Amino acid sequence: MKARVYYSNDFLRHDWPGHVERRERLEATMSRLRGGVLAEKVEVVEPRPATADEVGSVHAPWYVRYILEHGEGMLDLDTYMSEGSAIAALRAAGAAVEGVDEALSGRRLVVGMVRPPGHHALPAQAMGFCLFNNAAIGAKHALRRTGRVLIVDWDVHHGNGIELVFYDNPRVLYFSVHQSPLFPGTGAAPDVGVGEGEGFNVNVPLPAGSTDADYAEAFGRILLPIMDDYGPGLVIVSAGYDPHYADPIADMRMTEAGFYALASMVRGGSKNASIVVMLEGGYSLEHLPSSVEASLLGLMGEPYDYRASEEKTGAATGRIAEALEVQRKYWRL
């Protein structure tokens, strides 16, 4: 069975001249998917717009109306709305909902090639280029059909919106590996959730300069054992490619081969659970398409010709050890 890719030309209508989160990111990536090694392994489908009720499972009703009726302009210093942003945001959330349904119906891999991204969006606030929290909306929808959802977030920024939505909910385990310090300033290792959700929020903040090998160590020592313990019925990946060494807005040293390695580890750890990928960040027009391709090859179990960097950094190893110590209270690590 081919992987299903949800994409719409409406995603290109969300655009602001000179902004780093621009339509060319998705145009270049879709060109690579349609014309590269994955061309015969994916089917591209247009998602429907999410309903107000589906978006409202995460966001306040007044906020949903605010976004849909806002029109053009800046919502904050970083986050914009253009003429086509509302329909793009609804289709991005719709891709998450439809993708979850498709995955829970048996398709092994579903991919949302969407804009705008989502993981910073709060229940009543846009931020960090994000309008609606696509991954969180998908996870909420999934809980109608499965008992436990794992969200893996490898974007270079911490997904503060996802964390907030599920911070007290043991049915959604959120794992984030991210550069710290960096926007939005959240995601400390001791932030583990509250109430019934304590222990189901896992943050691995890494220093600038972290490598493929550092990320792989965080996944191997923390994520995979937790996945084995938790046994998710569905895995959602908030897939940001801004940890790449060429990305203009961060300072990590990941490569395409590194993303392939992380994706392969997620595939192995998911066992029988299907995987839904939602595009988040990644702003190198040269390397975003090849990074997405590499990660999808990893999630499909396909071969890849390049090797990830094996260089570990002492600073990252120390941070991983700190996160590991925090999580040992809750998991067999």
Whole-Å CA distances, 258 to 37, 225, 245, 270, 275: 18, 20, 11, 18, 19
Q: CA 49, 53, 59, 62 torsion: positive or negative? A: positive
Is 120 in the active site? Answer: yes
DSSP result, 57-79? TTS-HHHHHHHHH--SEESSSS-
Residue 332, Cβ density class (10 Å: 0-12 exposed, 13-18 middle, ≥19 buried)? exposed
Rounded to a whole number, what is the distance in angstroms from the first to the last CA of the chain? 35
Whole-angstrom CA distances from 139 to 63, 70, 233, 271, 276 are: 19, 26, 11, 18, 10
d(CA 187, CA 160): 7
DSSP state, 220? Answer: I
Pick the catalytic residue from 14, 120, 158, 178.
Answer: 120
Q: Virtual CA dihedral for 329, 215, 240, 18, nearest 10 degrees?
A: 130
Which residue carries 């804009």 as its tokens? 115
Phi, psi torsion values for 204, nearest 5 degrees: -125, 85
Angle at alpha carbon of residue 184, lines to 199 and 178, rounded to 5°: 55
Alpha carbon distance 156, 207 (integer Å): 11
109: Cβ contacts below 8 Å, ≥ 6 apart: 3, 4, 103, 274, 275, 277, 296, 299, 300
Alpha-carbon distance of 8 to 69, in angstroms, equals 21
CB atoms within 10 A of CB 300: 19
How many C-beta neighbours within 10 Å does residue 235 have? 25
Catalytic residues: 120
